[in-house]
Structure 1
Amino acid sequence: MSLREKVKNYLSKNPFKGYFKRNRLRPPGAVTEERFMELCIRCARCIEVCPYESVKRADLFDRLQIGTPYIYADERACYLCMLCPSVCPTGALDPKLKEPEKVRMGLAYIEQDKCLNYLYVKDENAGGTQGFATICSTCYNTCPYTDEAIRMEQFLLPVITDKCTGCGICVEKCPTDPKSISIIPAGMGNEDLAGLYYQRSRKNFKKAEEAEGYSGDDAIKKKMSIDTAGEKPEFKFDYETTDKIDGWTE
């Protein structure tokens, strides 16, 4: 095996890779991933309090995140009951977040080459040569914020707006196989977020460059120079801790 292949295999096994995957979401109110991994103590309170059994423990396949809470939208979506943020003892989930419409776990993305409505309209515009006769409005009908987070253009084509909470209900209920819609988690950069939302991001990057901000290697060096050390928040536990455990020796 060549050195290049060895390096490639090693990097592919890097446990810090793959934090962000489609349809794998942190519970509502989760802080940034880096901060979340510092604060989460894997107490499972968010898992236990969820009435919909939406919050699951990360398993061995999630590597260093094992034991931390995740919502797997294609299996069971978040129904925005907002119980989990208030029971988190460390602040990994923001306890101040109470309004479900302010949740931003991610953003839905429609796979237009799989969505029945997009395929139908495409076929109709081409003269109906393929014979697509099935249309679907499941994502639109199941969204808790119809006409706000998702709207229909031309009465048929579902379009996601930046008011999407990323709850994943549309993903869970989508009838196509494979799914025609997925959630891109907050913090995951992805050019699939096309249209107005992505164009807005590109404009913001362009403005930053025009303002002579940091970019490329300069941005990396600047970030590396930032001291992340500081005081941690004081955690309040409703149980007593012990400094020593019977039978253990220092």
Structure 2
Amino acid sequence: MNHSEELASPGRRALFRRLVKPKPVELPESIYPRPPWAQDNQTFLALCDRCDRCIDACPQRVIRQSEESHPVLKGLPVLSLDYGRCDFCDQCVDHCPTGALSKEDGRRIQAVARVSGHCQLTLNQHCDFCVDACEEDAIRIKDQRVQIDEALCTGCGECSLDCYDKAITLHKRC
């Protein structure tokens, strides 16, 4: 057998590599909202290098490291509006060196407010702190129930901070 014929002839391993298609890799999704202007999940995971510059730059201190158990998600920046509000100052974007946060390609609004069953109104108690707190007029009271217009909600977290029962919580916008 000639040496050039050996190179052109595929081996058994090469044959099996051609026959077996690789399984697509499923990227994990965080349960938490990303910081403002985060790109889609695949791009964000590919670009974010966990440098923490967005966390350090946030004057409101509402960006923190994720504590999720999945190794791909652990340590990535997430938006945490439990004790503060986001005023969309864009400092996180300005300090992101990789483009994982991008005004051109990312999505500004990452969270949305939701009401739970223990709102004071459902207990026949007057309360409208969340309505007063919402600068976007996304919250209305109708038939003794708080209604949040998700199309108007910016996910800033102000309504949640002003709700003394913590009946309003912020969730990842789908």
Structure-2-length-normalised TM-score? 0.71
Alpha-carbon separation, structure 1, partners of 2:172 and 2:59: 22
Question: Partner residue of 1:106?
Answer: 111
Alpha-carbon separation, structure 2, partners of 1:103 and 1:18: 18
Alpha-carbon separation, structure 2, partners of 1:171 and 1:150: 12
Asked whether 1:19 is paired with 2:30, we answer yes
| Ranges in structure 1 where 5+ consecutive residues have no aligned partner | 1-15, 121-133, 188-250
Question: Partner residue of 2:127?
Answer: 136
How much does 1:119 deviate?
2.7
Alpha-carbon separation, structure 2, partners of 1:82 and 1:150: 25
CA 1:87/1:18 → structure 2, altered by over 3 Å: closer, same or farther? closer
Structure with more contact order per residue of length (Cα contacts < 8 Å, sep ≥ 6): 2
8 Å contact kept, 2:130–2:163: yes
Asked whether 1:171 is paired with 2:151, we answer no
Task: Please state whether the residue corresponding to 1:36 is helix, strand or coil.
Answer: helix
Output aligned runs, 1:75-154, within 5 Å: 75-96=83-104, 103-111=108-116, 113-120=117-124, 134-145=125-136, 147=137, 149-153=138-142
Equivalent residue for 2:58, pick from 50, 55, 60: 50
Q: Which has the larger radius of gyration?
A: 2
Question: Partner residue of 1:183?
Answer: 170
| Ranges in structure 2 where 5+ consecutive residues have no aligned partner | 1-26
Question: Partner residue of 1:218?
Answer: none
Output aligned runs, 1:36-75, within 5 Å: 36-59=44-67, 61=69, 63-75=71-83
8 Å contact kept, 2:28–2:73: no
Q: Which has the higher helix share?
A: 1
Structure-1-length-normalised TM-score? 0.51
Aligned residues: 147
Q: In the alignment, residue 104 of structure 1 is paired with which amino acid?
A: I
Matched-pair identity in %: 32
RMSD between aligned alpha carbons?
Answer: 2.6
